[in-house]
Structure 1
Amino acid sequence: MTRGNVQLKTIENPVRRRITFSKRKAGLLKKASDLALLCDAEVAVGKSIRIWQPQTLHLELENLQKETTHSEKVCKHMIGEDLDVLKFKELQKLEKKISLGARKIRLRKEKLLRLESANLERKIGRNHKACHLNVDIIEGVNDYLETDAATQQDLPQTNLNLT
């Protein structure tokens, strides 16, 4: 005895629709695992796969809107806006968060300044060595010139007149 073809159309009753969805979903997952086992195939079905229904999308959208609104409020509080709605304990928590954030920022800034300072010191060291090298070269040239001038004076002046 076989079942007849089921006419596919949207189920109007929301309770029946959810029940049908969960039963058919379970059946599809069982068939997929059977197929994977029988045919030694990889089937990409599991809890990571989401099947979206209009109700699910609507709920997801509402949740995202609430999350966005909350994040916007938190950001405003962090920059010092809309503080009138906060109670004393909430203000203390916010102050603590901001203090911890400022501390982290200072530590990062100090680390970057130390790195930059070390880089500048290395550059200064290289420039200092280059200056000493230039001074040594100049002194060597001066010594050479002085020695050459002294040698020129020690030589007898000869007047070669070939006429």
Structure 2
Amino acid sequence: MGRGKIEIKRIENNTNRQVTFCKRRNGLLKKAYELSVLCDAEIALIVFSSRGRVYEYSNNNIKGTIDRYKKATSDASNICTPQELNAQFYQQESKKLRQQIHMLQNSNRHLVGEGLGSSNVRELKQLESRLERGISKIRSKKHDLIIAETENLQKREVHLEQENAFLRAKLFPFEQIAENERLQQLSMMPGAGQEYHAIQHYLARNMLQLNVMEGVQASYPVPDKKTLHLD
């Protein structure tokens, strides 16, 4: 005997209706799966029973398929002008930027210790790690700057001392000669031996500095002898 056709209408018997629902639901889900595999079709199937239970099948993300369906139906029903499409695009970009700004503002508030009442332990640990990394970078940068500034000051002090000694050696040679003659006269006076030796020690130290500076004269501009005026 062949399979008889049934009348398509609501089944009044609750038991028969539930059994028919289960059988045909499973068959529908099976056919949807076969269609998606055989034809490489994107399918989203949603079924709600009379009791409110939901059954669904999708070979892709079901939300993505629904969004694609909404977009397709919207494009078919509403043909937008290029100006309207640009406006929609900029509205979406503006919405994304506002969300990013809101997230950054919340992040900055958390870094200064505000708005932490709703944060859980995991979020607080992440915030603590961020603060520790930031403090470590700041300390490292501060240490490097202090070392660089100290080296620059030391180089500048050495440079100024060398310039000062060089200028004294070039601008006051006659005063040193006169001072040597005066010391020789003092050495001939009675009772001036101890003072003379102290002054000689001082001059020997100055002459040592001048000899050292002679080796670095090439690094500095030498004043022109024609333009040197002595009063």
Larger Rg, first or second structure (1 or 2): 2
- For residues 51-82 of structure 1, what are the alpha-carbon distances to aligned partners after superposition, in whole Å with 9 as ceiling and x for unaligned? 94333333222222111111110111112211
Deviation digits for residues 14-68 of structure 1 (CA, Å, limit 9, x no counterpart): 23167x67xxxxxxxxxxxxxxxxxxxxxxxxxxxxx943333332222221111
- 1:62–1:149 CA distance, 2 compared to 1 (3 A): closer
Q: TM-score, normalised by structure 2?
A: 0.40
Structure with the larger strand share: 2
Q: For residue 9 of structure 2, what is the aligned residue in structure 1?
A: none
Aligned position for 1:144: 177
Find the counterpart in structure 2 of residue 15 from structure 1. 75
Equivalent runs, 1:110-149 vs 2, <5 Å:
110-133=143-166, 140-146=173-179
Q: Indicate which of 69, 89, 99 corresponds to 1:56.
A: 89
Unaligned runs of 5+ in 1: 1-12, 22-50, 153-163
- Tell me the number of residue pairs that the alignment of Structure 1 and Structure 2 aligns: 112
Corresponding residue number in structure 2 for 1:93: 126
Aligned twin of 1:10? none
Cα distance in 2, alignment partners of residues 67 and 150 from structure 1? 83
Counterpart AA for 1:57: Y
Q: CA separation of 1:91/1:151 partners in 2, compared to 1, >3 Å: closer, same or farther? A: closer
Identity %: 20
Write the letter of the residue equivalent to 2:130.
K
Structure 2: gaps spanning 5 or more residues? 1-72, 186-231
The secondary structure found in structure 1 opposite 2:129 is helix
Distance 1:140 1:151, change over 3 A: same
Distance in 2 separating the partners of 1:140 and 1:107: 50
2:113 corresponds to which residue?
80
Higher relative contact order (CA 8 A, sep 6+): 2
CA 1:133–1:69: 2 relative to 1, 3 Å: same
**Alignment RMSD (CA, Å):** 3.5
**The one of 115, 138, 143 aligned to 1:105:** 138
| C-alpha distance in 2 between matches for 1:75 and 1:149 | 76
Q: CA distance change for structure 1 residues 142 and 84 in 2, over 3 Å: closer, same or farther?
A: same
| CA–CA distance in structure 1, aligned partners of residues 75 and 183 of structure 2 | 114
Post-superposition CA distance 1:82-138 (Å, at most 9, x none): 121211111111111111011111111111111111100001111222344466569
Normalised TM-score (structure 1): 0.54
